[in-house]
Amino acid sequence: MIYYDYAVVVSPLSQDDGGGFVAYVPDLPGCMSDGKTPEEAVHNAHDAISAWLEAAADQGREIPTPSHKTAIAR
């Protein structure tokens, strides 16, 4: 799998949480990142996906198939 096969969900963070945006990958448990802008959060999430996939492969864990359930939502 390649990072862009997985859907990334982006949500704003409250000012109490430091502001910016959080991006998470529903298909990959615990895979998330953040950024000052939605675009930065997605870019950082792509790095997180790559690292998640590499770690799973190194540990011999099953890699989930992308669900493609999520599309752009506004």
**DSSP designation for 50:** H
Cα–Cα distances in angstroms (integers) from residue 63 to residues 8, 10, 51, 68, in the given order: 16, 22, 12, 15
% the chain with pLDDT above 90: 81
Instruction: Give pLDDT, residue 2.
Output: 76
Instruction: Give pLDDT, residue 71.
Output: 53
Instruction: Give pLDDT, residue 50.
Output: 95
CATH, domain 3-58, list 3.30.160.250, 3.40.50.1110, 3.10.20.880, 1.10.238.10? 3.30.160.250
Going from N- to C-terminal start, the domains of the chain cover: 3-58
- Residues 68, 62 contacting (CB under 8 angstroms): no
Q: Is the pLDDT of residue 65 over 60?
A: yes
Q: What is the reported pTM?
A: 0.85
Segment 24-44 shows an average pLDDT of: 96
Instruction: Give pLDDT, residue 60.
Output: 97
- Residues 41, 34 contacting (CB under 8 angstroms): yes
Q: Give me 2's structure tokens.
A: 């390649």
